Amino acid sequence: MTPEELTGRARSHIAELSDPPCALHSQVIAPFASLRRAAALEGFDIVAASGFRDFARQLAIWNGKFRGTIPLHDASGRPLEASRLAPAQRIDAILTWSALPGASRHHWGTDLDLIDRRAIPTDYRVRLVADEFVAPGPFAPLAAWLERHALRFGFFRPYRGIVSGVSAEPWHYSFAPIAEPARRRLSAGLLRATLSAADLAGKQQVLERIEELHARYVAGIDWP
């Protein structure tokens, strides 16, 4: 991937799926289709609640959380009031659940937030929270199936709350054959250069800590 593709500023590596609607790295489409077919045999209809996300979208999420216009939560899911937190505390709180613009794995088109479309109750709003993926949550059976089978299709969970500073996300799966080379290429220097040119809330504080943040939230992931 080019530096622009790695940081979500280009989408030349991305292809669009119509069914289920999703934008993914062109080389992830076939493995994802294989995963879906295998899951369908067990009664699951796997769809991506989120696939590719560009830099502009990630920047809007970051700025909204930093400025308090988008809800901010601690590691336990409890709401936080951004205005009551010092900039460094806001940064850490955001990174518990959301990536820095330019550092999101969703920029690569290799990472998906997976749910079971057949398990969604009528008039239910999917929240992508841990309770939905353990019994009696609607996606608990899918979560258990993915734990057993996803890796043979190349997909793994990068965020288990062990090594990475990101909280455990049982819905977030990554296609390792492409995501791992991308992770190794996304250096702290490239991230610094990308963010230096962006209208990023809290930019000074982020750039002062970029090596630390890169090590904890970008380079540090959880392997199976």
How many Cβ atoms sit within 10 Å of the Cβ of residue 6?
Answer: 23
State the Cα angle at 90 between 66 and 211, rounded to 5°: 105
Tell whether 224 is covered by a domain: no
Q: pTM for this one? A: 0.93
Residue 60: predicted pLDDT: 97
Pairwise CA distance, residues 104 & 116, whole Å:
23
Task: Give me the amino acid identity at 1.
Answer: M
Query: In this structure, is the dihedral angle defined by the CA atoms of residues 162, 125, 69 and 63, taken in order, positive or negative?
Result: positive
| pLDDT score recorded for residue 75 | 78
pLDDT for 95 equals: 93
Q: Which portions of the chain are predicted below pLDDT 50?
A: none
Which pLDDT score, from 0 to 100, does residue 224 have?
A: 73
State how far the Cα of 13 lies from the Cα of 1, in Å rounded to an integer. 8
Q: What pLDDT is recorded for position 223?
A: 81
Tokens describing residue 147:
């734990």
d(CA 35, CA 37): 6
For the chain, the farthest-separated pair of C-alpha atoms sits apart, in whole angstroms, at 51
Residue in 198, 164, 205, 159 with CA at minimum distance from that of residue 60: 198
User: How many domains does the chain fold into?
Assistant: 1
Q: Report the CATH number at residue 64.
A: 3.30.1380.10
CA nearest to 109, candidates 38, 28, 41? 28
pLDDT recorded at residue 97: 87
Cα separation of 224 and 222, whole Å? 7
User: Is 189 part of a structural domain of the chain?
Assistant: yes
Q: What is the pLDDT of residues 46-58, one digit of tens each?
A: 999 999 999 999 9
Supply the pLDDT for residue 120: 96
pLDDT at 76: 73
Residue closest to 11 by CA, chosen among 49, 76, 56: 56
Q: What stretch of H or E contains 50? A: strand 46-50
Domain of residue 99 covers: 3-219
Question: Alpha-carbon distance 212 to 190, whole Å?
Answer: 14
Residue 48 parent element (H or E): strand 46-50
